[in-house]
Amino acid sequence: MGTVTLGVSIAVPEPHGTLLQQCRLGFGDAAAAGIPTHVTLLPPTVVRVADRPVIEDHLAAIAAAGRAFPMRLSGTGTFRPLSPVVFVQVVEGGSACGWLQERVREPSGPLARELQFPYHPHVTVAHGIDEAAMDTAQTELADYEAAWTVRGFSLYEQGADSVWRRRREFRFATVHPPRQQHSRRRAAEAA
């Protein structure tokens, strides 16, 4: 049946997703046209097509155990000189992303794999372009801010045209952010 390249990520919602994708294209990163703006939970991974149902069941179980959480982006960073990447930083929600990516890649699961570098949640805004353009990306987005509530994650597939397309969204069973739940719990305990 062959293989397919999959990825799992948290989509950056509108209007932020389109804005950051347009910035990335403007910096000269042509690959951005085929990459929706996201925070990676599983980098591109080649799997057998026949394993898709087991993979989707695995991801559904993770979503059922997860809960909505606040995500905030602020400022830029870079992985240079180790990797030619400039990114917008995840300054809130990183630990929840870490929890999710560990479960997605758990050793006993269908997506078990080692990472080339330690996991660091981020939103790529420039990759593999010349140094001057990387510097421009890092400077121009240094004051960038965005915030939203993450309510799930998605499975993406890379097509033969190198474009990444969402194949399925996995919503968390618990829809309220942890802080709101904690505040409600505290209010109930005080009553």
Q: What is the DSSP string of 148-185?
A: EEE-EEEEEEE-TTS-EEEEEEEE-SB-S-HHHHHHHH
State the Cα–Cα distance between residues 134 and 71, nearest whole angstrom: 25
State the Cα–Cα distance between residues 103 and 101, nearest whole angstrom: 5
Read off the CATH number of the domain in which 21 is found.
Answer: 3.90.1140.10
Contact 72, 64 (CB under 8 A): no
Question: pLDDT tens for residues 157-186?
Answer: 999 999 999 999 999 987 554 443 333 333
Q: What are phi and psi of 176, to 5 degrees?
A: -90, 140
Please return the burial class of 17, using the count of CB atoms within 10 Å of its CB with bins 0-12, 13-18 and 19+: middle
Contact 46, 110 (CB under 8 A): no
The encoded tokens of residue 64 equal 């059922």
DSSP 67: B
Average pLDDT in the chain: 91
The percentage of the chain sitting over the pLDDT mark of 90, rounded to a whole number, equals 87
The number of distinct structural domains making up the chain is 1
Q: b vs e for 126-154, b when ≥16 Cβ sit within 10 Å of the residue's Cβ? A: bbebeeeebebbbebbeebebeeebbbbb
Q: Please give the pLDDT value at position 62.
A: 97
Question: pLDDT tens for residues 16-53?
Answer: 999 999 999 999 999 999 999 999 999 999 999 999 99
Which amino acid does the sequence have at 187?
Answer: A
Please return the burial class of 117, using the count of CB atoms within 10 Å of its CB with bins 0-12, 13-18 and 19+: exposed
Please tell me the pTM assigned to this model. 0.88
Closest CA relative to residue 154, chosen from 175, 168, 174, 164: 168
Residue 2, Ramachandran bin (φ over 0: left; ψ between -120 and 50: alpha; else beta): left
Q: Which domain holds residue 70?
A: 3-190
